[in-house]
Amino acid sequence: MTKRKTDQLTRDSEDLYEAINQLVRVHQFRDRDRICGYDVSVTQCYAVETLVKKGPLRLQVMAEEMFLDKSTASRVVDTLERKGYVSRVEDEEDRRAVRIQATDAGCELYARIRADLIAEERAMIEDLSIEARQGALSLLRQITRATEVRCGLVDESCATICSKD
């Protein structure tokens, strides 16, 4: 690779790093502002989303899925239960334990929030070519996989296999 191409690749890599950093910050604030309009915090929304996608979970498993400690997850669940978005049910495998599940109201809330956020995303990409959209999605998936490996969420062999999708 020529020095000029190497220098350009370095500049582009630095620009990508800065763009991702800014995206993460702005996206979190955007979600916080939007989701608060639904009477739940970002963390509460992620908790409902986790339960909708994964089904009923024990508190410890839910905390691990959300990268929270158990006491924080417990407070989130308590608040969501008071609002009627989640409920506690007997664990079928261990009758002494309970699982947390999304209620119908929680599922409906998540569906509304998701639909609104997807409509925003659609508006952002509607003028891009299919190739540009697919290229952007491919890059975002690669960044996600690399971050999962770096954080120890998956091992490199899985990330390599998964990246061929």
Instruction: Please give the Cα distance from 14 to 8 (Å, whole number).
Output: 10
Instruction: Please give the Cα distance from 145 to 39 (Å, whole number).
Output: 32
The structure's pTM equals 0.76
Q: 165 near 145, Cβ under 8 Å? A: no
Instruction: Place 44 in a pLDDT band, splitting at 50, 70 and 90.
Output: very high
Q: Please write the tens of the pLDDT for every residue from 73-131.
A: 999 999 999 999 999 998 888 888 899 999 999 999 999 999 998 998 899 899 999 99
Q: Which residues of 122-157 are buried (b: 16+ CB within 10 A; e: fewer)?
A: eeeeeeeeeeeeeeeeeeeeeeebeebbeeeeeeee
